[in-house]
Structure 1
Amino acid sequence: MEPVSLALGIIPIAGGSLKAYKSIHSKLKTFRHYSREVDRVRKHFDRQRQFFLNEVHFVLRLALDDEVLVKEMVADGAHSEWHSHRLESAIVESFGDNSGALMEIVEDVRTIINDVQMALECFSCLEAVRLENERLKDTVKRVRDRMKIAFDKSKFDKWTSDLRNSNNDLCLLRKQVDELCRPRARTSVVGRSCDPRQLMHKTGYYRDARKASQALHDALCAAWSTPDAAYFRHSVRLFLETKDDDTTQVDLAISCLEQEASPGRRKVTPNGKAASSLVLENMMRVHVRSQAMDSRGAGSLATPPDSDSSHNTTRKRRRVVRFEDDEATNCGDDMDLRVSSREVNLEQAVTLDLQSTRHFCSELLSNGVFCRQNPTATCVGYLDTCSHESFRHSFFQCCEGVCNPNLCKADIASGALVRMDDVLAHPRSEELSVPSQLQLALQIVLAVLKFNSTSWLGEYWGLQDLYLFEQGSDLTASLRTLHIGIDWSKRSPGELMEVDSAGDSRAFEDTKLVHGIRNATIYNLGVALLAIGRWAPVDSNDILHVRRMASQTCPLGSKYHEMTQRVLECDFGCGKDLSRPQLQHAIYNGIVLELESMIASLSLE
């Protein structure tokens, strides 16, 4: 079919179909009172109508940049723009060789709708019995029990099925055309992509962060599986803001609560404290540095140099501390913990294997691990893990210059603990700027890259797994305390420490297969971006509702809207395996850099 003839038909036919759809919708809304069969037909028909409206919306976007105009056209099939030759030419240009297939689909839809309109003439007999000034709906209710109308439900079921097939074809064609056009649309994104060497460094850092954070989780499980720890319940808050460095550095808030236990079961820790005294009302804040150890097995730790005026003298006195613990000997390594611009006294060199203590929370408490304005970074002790890879996790007192400054300044002792999805359930504060909203989205994307596939952030995660500490009425400051919360419990002394389950994922696994979710972790990230963009909680299990919301315009703009859709569909052209560097590169280039660019441009305004 020639492009000229196509341009004379595609747009007017689509607009006419929208008008006819609206007319049928109105009639079925009235006639549904006749019987349950008619009402079921109406529901099925209305769904196909909505799908068609959405697809027409997407098609118009390929040719129009004016979102307001697109909405007006979809809402009004009689809009004058449906007869615009300029728009017709733009559609044909966008679809190119696919214009013929588009024409056939819209013609099929028009034919089916015409058949439905003719079939609904069976209800025209109601006009003959309609009373003066009586609503047609009331007429249907009045005569439905004594008037037989030849309504053939099987025909309507077939037409609904045909409309469904046409909508699916239109959806597939539109997505293919969009994908074919995407390389031209993505040139700006490619221009912003980082240097390949920097990109490899970033993905390497994310890989190391995942390994180290999982090793830290395993170390905590092992440390809290001792008999003395059996009578305590532990809660750990892993803050999402981390430092990008050669070592993985995270900030934790640990609380230790005594489980129900008889007084006779209380034991005394090596430092003479009764276990019952470890019940904490305030959380302990610690800074943890996790560093991989090589396979040499030398359990040694180099003491870091001072950074004060006696630096030269300190360098001469630098010594190596040997650990006598067998487990540390097998898993150790030469490690140099560098504390930038902070003093570390030689007398405070790390000599304590926290695993060797019966309950290392007592050691943290005795060392006063509470955030304070302290110019000295003191290493309290370490935990080693030797499962798949060997790591040493060194615990430092939380002080300025060591832990995250936002965490150091935050008041988590008196601030209420709130789930992120509960925050979204309340109207967005006017004080929360758009850059802060985008910064929140960026923070969560980076957290997924760093902690996905670990025990901290499982495949079926959601915003309900993220928490923050309220900082008065300052929502921006509260969001800086965003963290993952995990509870540890031990049911009996003979059992290993277990992490409380976040819920059964089997139901979502079935839903994932039915709706074609390519990657649950990335899909849930898309749901989080959608919720942040609309500042409203979103149920990730209601996939139809999620996709319907994602098809609507976003208050944060078209770029954010497009990013959200790409993440929901895992549409990066690099498969669906998040462990592959290619997909990580695509997410970093297409989402992280894009968000950073948006934040920078808005911050300059």
Structure 2
Amino acid sequence: MEPVSLALGIIPIVGGSLKAYKSIHSKLKTFRHYSREVDRVRKHFDRQRQFFLNEVHFVLRMALDDEVLVKEMVADGAHLEWYSQRLESAIVESFGDNSGALMEIVEDVRTIINDVQVALECFSCLEEVRLEDERLKDTVKRVRDRIKIAFDKSKFDKWASDLRNSNNDLCLLRKQVDELCKPRARTSVAGRGCDPRRLMHKPGHYRDARKASQALHDALCIAWSTPDAAYFRHSVRLFLETKDDDVTQVDLAISCLGQEASPGRRKLASSNGKTASSLVLENMMRVHVKSQAMDRMGAGLLTTLPDSDPNHNTKRKRRRIVRFEDDGAINCDDNMGLRISSREVNLEQTVTLDLQSTRHFCSELLSNGVYCQQNPTDKCVGYLDTCSHEKFRHSFFQCCEGVCNPNLCKADIASGALVRMDDMLAYPRNDELSVPSQLQLALRLVLAVLKFNSTSWLGECWGLQDLYFFEQGSDLTASLRTLHIGIDWSKRSPGELMEVDSAGDSRSFEDAKLVHGIRNATIYNLGVALLAIGRWTPVDSNDILHVRRMASQTCPLGSKYHEMTQKVLECDFGCGKDLSKPQLQQAIYDGIVLELESMISSLSLE
């Protein structure tokens, strides 16, 4: 096709398609009250309309430097600039030999939209029964049970699928043209990974996070294994949104509950019949924990370590503070080997409360006024040390602004209901939950698996039933920001260490792994979670045939998300199946994390 003929058509067709899309959106918004089928069709078309708007935005950016003008044009298909010969020439020049393909795609979109508009004429009979001054929406509600409209949902589904394919083609073409326009850089193979987001992924980052979080888990087990703690059952919520600085930082919500009469029962109930959920909320204490390997710590002030006296925990003692000179490095304990310099003062370590030395540190913090819920401060309120394997110090802080995650600091988790993630998926997706929010949820889970896999927080056979969130009123997006792993601790018998309650028997899943060739159970379960989020429905990870059947079907979140889900389910990254290997971690980060971030960024355009 000649450039002259192209210049007469591409831009006006796009502008006309935007107007037609807007008209269809308006009509379906009214006619959706006729039946659920019509409402589902509306949702499908609304998504494709939004994808088309985003791609048009990107295409216009290639020819226009004025972002304000681009936004005005995308919002108004009747804008005068849609008839600008100058803009036509700029688009044709930008796409070059690809202008013909661009013309064919936008013509396909126009044809499909025109067919949809014609098909919607089946609702024109509603105008005949419309009362004077009555809104058409009210007319639909009034007569929907009396008038039979020949609405063929299969045709609309086919058109929505065709629009999805056209959007995917437009996206692919635009990306290829954008890449072809970039100057070719002569770089070595080792220099290809220069994406600044990729550089943020340090090779040892996830390894350090796993070690620190497992050490924190061990520290809690030991602290709650004292005789005085035996009368309590603890529920711990580990929030998935973490801070990633030089030290591993996590936010916890700890609830101290009365020990249940029968250790085998998982449901808790108090004497007045309160549920486990309400008890967890009533007895909850939020803390921010910074976990640091002791061989990396450099603090001018450090409290001494707990005595080896077996009766040490029966009485709280004031800990002695040891000071060190500039050039004098002294070992505070032969086994610890900590070299400390006063030039590296860290005030977070200037605390006298060794939580392990208390009878029950939760009660200690609350009863002695160390933990002030009314006016929280950013001072460290206590610490736990872990000496098994690698030595860690876990410093506890109150949850307050500037310390914990901002989303959690602002959240009202005490009054909101505690909801399990798989229970939430059992309900139809709320229209208020946007596609970017769904992708953000998927991204949080991928990052959580990279950080907490192979730890006691996230077992191999984990699932969405292990995840919870606190309801934040009707704001589902804000609620999902409180997503966390929920586990319970209980004492099995006198003299035993505190243990984490098991979520259930995984024998059937182990058998299924062997039969169906699951390469990595942790990654497979992540794929099941992505599948469930993409379709917003519960998915049984044990029914592997059903999972693979669902994964072979098209996904409402698009073909790219569909491909990522399949890749995760099959652990198909070309780097083996051992998640402890940096190569597989990097492949998941590059192929899943960065792709999800890119999708979120492109869909979040205003």
TM-score by length of 1: 0.58
State the Cα distance separating 1:301 from its structure 2 match.
2.5
1:185-196 counterparts in 2 under 5 A?
Answer: none
Within 1, Cα distance between the matches of 2:340 and 2:290? Answer: 11
Q: Does the aligned pair in 1 maintain the 2:298–2:340 contact within 8 Å?
A: no
Moved more, 490-499 or 424-433: 490-499
Structure 2 partner of 1:555: 556
Deviation by residue 1:137-183 (Cα, 9 ceiling, x = unmatched): xxxxxxxxxxxxxxxxxxxxxxxxxxxxxxxxxxxxxxxxxxxxxxx
Structure 2 partner of 1:215: 215
Unaligned 5+ runs, structure 2:
1-175, 180-188, 262-278, 305-320, 325-330
What secondary structure does 1:604 align onto? coil
What secondary structure does 2:518 align onto? coil
Structure 1 partner of 2:578: 577
Structure 2 partner of 1:62: none
1:4-19 counterparts in 2 under 5 A?
Answer: none
Structure 2 partner of 1:448: 449
4+ residue runs over 3 A deviation:
190-201, 295-300, 319-322, 326-339, 366-374
State the Cα distance separating 1:572 from its structure 2 match.
0.3
Within 1, Cα distance between the matches of 2:496 and 2:283? Answer: 28
Structure 2 partner of 1:511: 512
Structure 2 partner of 1:282: 283
State the Cα distance separating 1:299 from its structure 2 match.
11
Deviation by residue 1:368-417 (Cα, 9 ceiling, x = unmatched): 6466675x401011000011100000001110010011111111111111
Within 1, Cα distance between the matches of 2:459 and 2:342? Answer: 30
Structure 2 partner of 1:495: 496
Distance 1:378 1:470, change over 3 A: same
Q: Does the aligned pair in 2 maintain the 1:287–1:403 contact within 8 Å?
A: yes
Within 1, Cα distance between the matches of 2:335 and 2:280? Answer: 33
Within 2, Cα distance between the matches of 1:507 and 1:206? Answer: 30
Structure 1 partner of 2:243: 243
Deviation by residue 1:61-93 (Cα, 9 ceiling, x = unmatched): xxxxxxxxxxxxxxxxxxxxxxxxxxxxxxxxx
State the Cα distance separating 1:192 from its structure 2 match.
9.3
Q: Does the aligned pair in 2 maintain the 1:300–1:332 contact within 8 Å?
A: no
State the Cα distance separating 1:426 from its structure 2 match.
0.6
What secondary structure does 1:203 align onto? coil
1:470-485 counterparts in 2 under 5 A?
Answer: 470-485=471-486
1:333-352 counterparts in 2 under 5 A?
Answer: 333=338, 349-352=350-353
Within 2, Cα distance between the matches of 1:299 and 1:384? Answer: 18
State the Cα distance separating 1:365 from its structure 2 match.
1.5
Distance 1:601 1:363, change over 3 A: same
1:246-395 counterparts in 2 under 5 A?
Answer: 246-259=246-259, 281-294=282-295, 301=302, 330-331=335-336, 333=338, 349-366=350-367, 367=369, 369=371, 374=376, 376-395=377-396
TM-score by length of 2: 0.58
Q: Does the aligned pair in 2 maintain the 1:432–1:476 contact within 8 Å?
A: yes
Structure 2 partner of 1:537: 538
1:563-602 counterparts in 2 under 5 A?
Answer: 563-602=564-603
Provide the alpha-carbon RMSD of the alignment. Answer: 3.6
Within 1, Cα distance between the matches of 2:474 and 2:220? Answer: 34
What secondary structure does 1:294 align onto? helix
Q: Which has the larger radius of gyration?
A: 1
Name the structure with the higher helix share. 1
Q: Does the aligned pair in 2 maintain the 1:456–1:486 contact within 8 Å?
A: yes
State the Cα distance separating 1:493 from its structure 2 match.
2.1
Q: Does the aligned pair in 2 maintain the 1:533–1:555 contact within 8 Å?
A: yes
- Report the residue type matching 1:294 in the other structure: D
Unaligned 5+ runs, structure 1:
1-184, 262-277, 304-318
Within 2, Cα distance between the matches of 1:337 and 1:453? Answer: 37
- Report the residue type matching 2:485 in the other structure: I
- Report the residue type matching 2:256 in the other structure: C
Structure 2 partner of 1:206: 206
Structure 2 partner of 1:459: 460
Structure 1 partner of 2:227: 227
Structure 2 partner of 1:426: 427
State the Cα distance separating 1:349 from its structure 2 match.
2.5
- Report the residue type matching 2:487 in the other structure: I
Distance 1:252 1:370, change over 3 A: farther
State the Cα distance separating 1:281 from its structure 2 match.
2.6
Within 2, Cα distance between the matches of 1:253 and 1:395? Answer: 12
